[in-house]
Structure 1
Amino acid sequence: MEANTHGDIFLQAMEKESVKDTESEGPLRPGVVISVDSNVVFLEMGGKSEVVVPLEEFEKAPAVGDKIDVVLTGDRRDGVPIASKTRAERMGIFDNLRDAIKNELPVKGTVKEMVVRDNIPKGFMVDLGGDIKAFVPYSHIDTKRYDKPEDIIGQKFDFVILEKRGASITVSRRVYLQKTVKKLYAKFFEDHQVNDIVNGTVEEIDQNFIILNVEGIKAFLHISDFSWKYLSDFRGVVKYGDPMEVQIISLDKTKDSVKVGKKQLLPNPWDGVENKYSIGDVVNGKVVHFRKEGAVVEVEEGIEAFLHVSEISWTQRIRDPKKFLKKGALVEVKIKSIDTERRRMDVSLRDLQENPWHDAEGRYPRGKKLHGTVSSILDFGVFVKFEDGIEGILRKEDVDWLDSGVELKDRFKKGDEIDVVVLSIEPGRERLRLGIKQLSDNPLQTFAMNYPKNSVVEGTVKSVQEHGVVVALENNLEGFIHISNLDKNDVEKTDGVVKEGEKIRAVIRYVDVVKGKIELSRKDLMQAEEQKEFQKYMATDSHTTGAFSTTMGSLLADQFKGLKIGEEKKAAPAETKKKSAKASKETEKKNEQE
């Protein structure tokens, strides 16, 4: 038994008490008070026998004629037998204790003092009456832990007896609660149903709920079921021990759950609200609390309306309503919707203000250049505010033609005055899109027009990478040469082919204006230049004679056989191609004749 571990603590606590086990005392005898003096009370025990009882055993001096049970102590005073009222009471209590142990019944006791060892609470001494003390271990004082155990000193509880050894008694309130709670819940569920009205007292208080003791069981009352009026915190509204009449709103036998409400006993202010208010009505209210997405405005007691952040201002982007409104502020709002079933009313503050978006399309036509002030900077864009309060969004991709990943917080500061151009406007959705890069031509578009496919360009190697090299071109543009297009001969590594800072020439393979890419080929240029040199040679060779020249020409022709210069490469002049072909045929014919 758990209480055995606390036996030594109990015995030490009992050293202060010289309580005698009265189970061996004589029988109880009734007496009648015949007189009271300053020290003793005289009792007539029947016939002519009398006894005296010390007056100190009475909390209050008895009156003549009172009937009192006593037990003889065996001592005498001036020849008169001495009796004890305290021992008689103790004998009755011990009889009750034996009955409680036999039948597993609870006993009542009052918590008198805390037992402490090494500055740690170990338990409590409990007065069972008749000067009989019992010990309750700290873990057995309740089913929950007390933050301030000293607060229970002086309180009276029911206990069960865990152990009795002579005058040493160990009791538990926790076991009593655990044993009785099931019976109490079973009786409550048998006696009650949903909508019944019951009475309870406040036993536990939290910010959002309270626990009531209702007929010995715990009933849960959420703050939303306490009043039709908004409450943010139960603390300070109710006190421990407050009596409360409530209505049962749900019962769950499987979970021993009882939920109750207080507002259900009060008139519902939403009944008939549709007869008092209509959509479009302008009403006065008070800001009573805030939510993340807006403020709650009390229109009248128990009737609250929701003011969404988007309905506060036409021009200001409000994320935190507390920065625009103060709790307790009186506001005039316009009703936008009423839902009596959900007890919800939506209101607007901005509907009572002039809407600058009504004629914004005429003032902000597409392509118009504007001058505004940076009002805020986010990861995806910059908000720009204009004199009439309207804000537009400058998205990251509309800032720079060449740097789509521009760091906006490095480039802009709140309060900066900047020039922008209108890209689009949607007054109905209150959206204005702006651009900066559109104020100038797209350098990539210009480059594509100036350098069509197969054009030769010159640049500087900016970086050498595993799969190719990056080439710096004019106007801060960059091109890329894949490793497969880096040299006329196939290479497995880029190292050693070109160096950073080296000036190189290449041809345009393609320009993707949308994706901002320029693909180059050094290989195509090298092959085209070799082909050009070969064609020059063949043109010259057509005017020479001799077997040696013819043989060399044939060898070179064989070497470049299969080399195709397609549309991606710079084409040789048509006239040169014809001359080259004619010269080649004449050489072959001469060789055949020889």
Structure 2
Amino acid sequence: MVEEKMSLMDKLYESSLKEIKDGQIVTGRIVSVSPKEVLVDIGYKSEGIISAQEFSASELEVGREIEVYVDSIESDAGMVVLSREKAIKLQGWHRIDKNFRDGDLIEGTVRRKIKGGYLVDVCGIEGFLPLSLSSFRNMADADILNRQFKFKMVKLNNLRHSMIVSRKEAVSKERAEGRDKLWETLKIGEVRSGIVKSITDFGAFIDLGGIDGLLHITDMSWSKVAHPSEVVAAGDKIEVMILNLDRKESKVSLGLKQRLPDPWSDVENRYPVGSKVKGKVVNILPYGLFVELEKGIEGLIHISEISWAKRVTNLQGVFAVGDMLEVQVLSVDKEAHRISLSVKQLESNPWLDVEAKFPPGSQVGGKVRGFTEYGAFIELDNSIEGMIHVSDMSWTKRVNHPQDVLKKGQRVDVMVLSVDGTNRRISLGLKQLTENPWAEIAKKYPLETELEAEVIQVAPFGVFARIDDSLEGLIYSSEIDKDALDKLKPSDKIRVKVIKVDVEQAKIGLSAKV
């Protein structure tokens, strides 16, 4: 009867024990700690023993639950042989294998540098990080060794429990994930911090923390910007507003000026048409001056609005960047961000009474101010200019260049031929100060008069020849032998006769067929 009870108790005890096999990982509880060994209860008929060297100091605590590897169910001493290190490594390998299959990143600690790369502790298992996959360029060893990083498993050997990891691919994946997360948070109209990454002629690229956005030159400032480097520099940390998002094209448009109030919003109230204001010349172009009225507000003085009468062709010869000018507002276009300004409107228009001051037929004095191919400009007073056309410089001579007759700065007397106050034009004449000699010329050189002339110029349509010191005529090409024409040169003497005298047109026609 007693034996039956004992047998029953043994069966009940054995049924309460866990079914444990060699090679298993089981949960145990530390029951005692000695300098060399740690005794662990794994719910088996006898406790297991583990070398104390397999534990860190923080783990050696009685009652602490730990994962252990069953090396042997029963040793020669009748004890269960366990291993803490093997449990950690096996669990680590399972985790490594899962991460490799899932393509996930895993943390590891760089332990030491070896030839061709680094040895990395990943979940208690040593892996190899090739130098080409390290992404540690320009980093000091102190910033690498014994530091934790995330890695991507690129090659696994399950038999040898060996692996190759990549920090480079992990960084790439982290950046991609970071970009995806950032795209989810970006919103049009919000302000973000960014670092100026690079500068081009059309703007600057800003790193928003994994995504680059373009800050266009036109969105840098409300005032005119000649080059982005005037506003930002590479490496600057700036606050920008998101203007537009295009995730499909991976484009982000940014603005700097949009963070500030638009100075053009009430520009019509601050600069009403007709008002007089002061501004600073900030740019000089062939067609006009750009004047800054305030920060972000610029207006244009067109070259035609500089002076009522003086002909200004070289603005840089009259104005300089930085000059302060008083101007009048002509027009304001808030939408186009344009203001038209004028200097001359501040002065009285001298052309209003120009016809009374310079009546046609009157003789006036002036100074030669400049030339064109077709005439000379004469300054009649400080605000009015007139022009002498080349055809009004001589009654008898053909004037090719006005500089042949007049010199810049020379004072001359002229006759006013016509005045157009509306279009601000005065036609002047030099030859009209003397009597028209063509009536006398017609008498002096009647048709068929033969004479010797001097060749001045050979042209495709004929030969210009000097008849006397003050008179030139034209030998028509049809009135000279072609061979003779080809041989002629300036200063040659030629026998001609008069075949036409046009008093109205002030022309005399000649023939070499004598």
Q: TM-score range by the shorter chain?
A: 0.5 to 0.7
Task: Verify: 1:90 aligned to 2:119, yes or no.
Answer: yes
Contact 1:507 1:521 in 2 (8 A): no
One-letter amino acid matched to 1:49: Q
Query: Which of 431, 436, 451 is residue 458 of structure 1 equivalent to?
Result: 451
SS in 2 for 1:224: helix
Structure 1 residues 172 and 409: alpha-carbon distance in aligned structure 2, compared to 1, 3 A threshold: farther
Query: Which of 44, 48, 53 is residue 49 of structure 1 equivalent to?
Result: 53
Structure 1 residues 215 and 406: alpha-carbon distance in aligned structure 2, compared to 1, 3 A threshold: same
Q: Please give the per-residue CA displacement for 1:207-254, whole angstroms capped at 9, x wherever unaligned.
A: 662221234343222333112234444436433332333234456779
One-letter amino acid matched to 1:460: A
One-letter amino acid matched to 1:305: G
Structure 1 residues 279 and 367: alpha-carbon distance in aligned structure 2, compared to 1, 3 A threshold: same
> Separation in 1 of the partners of 2:268 and 2:486?
84
Structure 1 residues 460 and 316: alpha-carbon distance in aligned structure 2, compared to 1, 3 A threshold: closer
> Separation in 2 of the partners of 1:208 and 1:474?
67
The within-5 A match list for 1:148-547 is 195=189, 197-206=191-200, 209-235=203-229, 237-250=231-244, 257-443=251-437, 446-448=440-442, 451=445, 454-460=447-453, 462=455, 472-474=466-468, 476-481=470-475, 485=479, 493-494=483-484, 504=495, 506-509=497-500, 511=502, 514=505, 516-520=507-511, 522=513
Q: Please give the per-residue CA displacement for 1:467-496, whole angstroms capped at 9, x wherever unaligned.
A: 97765424543445557656xxxx774389
One-letter amino acid matched to 1:374: V
Stretch deviating more after TM superposition (217-226 or 510-519)? 510-519
> Separation in 2 of the partners of 1:223 and 1:376?
41
Structure 1 residues 377 and 496: alpha-carbon distance in aligned structure 2, compared to 1, 3 A threshold: closer
Structure 1 residues 460 and 267: alpha-carbon distance in aligned structure 2, compared to 1, 3 A threshold: closer
> Separation in 2 of the partners of 1:338 and 1:326?
25
Q: Please give the per-residue CA displacement for 1:339-362, whole angstroms capped at 9, x wherever unaligned.
A: 111121112222222332221111
Task: Verify: 1:129 aligned to 2:144, yes or no.
Answer: yes
> Separation in 2 of the partners of 1:195 and 1:274?
27
Structure 1 residues 364 and 468: alpha-carbon distance in aligned structure 2, compared to 1, 3 A threshold: closer
Contact 1:464 1:495 in 2 (8 A): no
Aligned CA RMSD, in angstroms, stands at: 5.3
> Separation in 1 of the partners of 2:205 and 2:259?
18
Aligned length: 404
Contact 2:501 2:507 in 1 (8 A): no
Contact 1:280 1:336 in 2 (8 A): yes
Q: Please give the per-residue CA displacement for 1:68-102, whole angstroms capped at 9, x wherever unaligned.
A: xx9xxxxxxxxxxxxx953697233883747x99x
| Structure 2 segments unaligned to the other structure (5+ residues) | 1-36, 39-49, 61-84, 86-109, 155-164
One-letter amino acid matched to 1:108: S
Q: When you count strand as a share of all residues, which structure comes out higher?
A: 2
Q: Please give the per-residue CA displacement for 1:18-63, whole angstroms capped at 9, x wherever unaligned.
A: xxxxxxxxxxxxxxxxxxxxxxxxxx998443999xxxxxxxxxxx
Contact 2:111 2:120 in 1 (8 A): no
Query: Which of 108, 125, 133 is residue 135 of structure 2 equivalent to?
Result: 108
Structure 1 residues 66 and 383: alpha-carbon distance in aligned structure 2, compared to 1, 3 A threshold: farther
| Identity between Structure 1 and Structure 2 (%) | 29
Contact 1:219 1:260 in 2 (8 A): yes
Structure 1 residues 112 and 402: alpha-carbon distance in aligned structure 2, compared to 1, 3 A threshold: farther
Structure 1 residues 477 and 278: alpha-carbon distance in aligned structure 2, compared to 1, 3 A threshold: same
SS in 1 for 2:416: strand
One-letter amino acid matched to 2:144: G
Contact 1:444 1:477 in 2 (8 A): no
Contact 2:397 2:471 in 1 (8 A): no
The residue that corresponds to 2:44 in the other structure is: none
Structure 1 residues 172 and 412: alpha-carbon distance in aligned structure 2, compared to 1, 3 A threshold: farther
Q: CA deviation at 1:515?
A: 8.1
Structure 1 length normalisation: TM-score? 0.54
Structure 1 residues 235 and 484: alpha-carbon distance in aligned structure 2, compared to 1, 3 A threshold: closer
One-letter amino acid matched to 2:235: G
> Separation in 2 of the partners of 1:447 and 1:181?
96
> Separation in 1 of the partners of 2:486 and 2:279?
78
> Separation in 1 of the partners of 2:500 and 2:457?
19
Contact 1:457 1:508 in 2 (8 A): no
Q: CA deviation at 1:65?
A: 5.9
Structure 1 residues 285 and 65: alpha-carbon distance in aligned structure 2, compared to 1, 3 A threshold: farther
Structure 2 length normalisation: TM-score? 0.61
> Separation in 2 of the partners of 1:371 and 1:409?
18
Contact 2:374 2:401 in 1 (8 A): no
One-letter amino acid matched to 2:343: L
SS in 1 for 2:356: helix
SS in 2 for 1:109: coil
> Separation in 1 of the partners of 2:423 and 2:493?
53
The residue that corresponds to 1:31 in the other structure is: none
Q: Please give the per-residue CA displacement for 1:98-125, whole angstroms capped at 9, x wherever unaligned.
A: 7x99xxxx75324259xxxxxxxxxxxx
> Separation in 1 of the partners of 2:398 and 2:486?
32
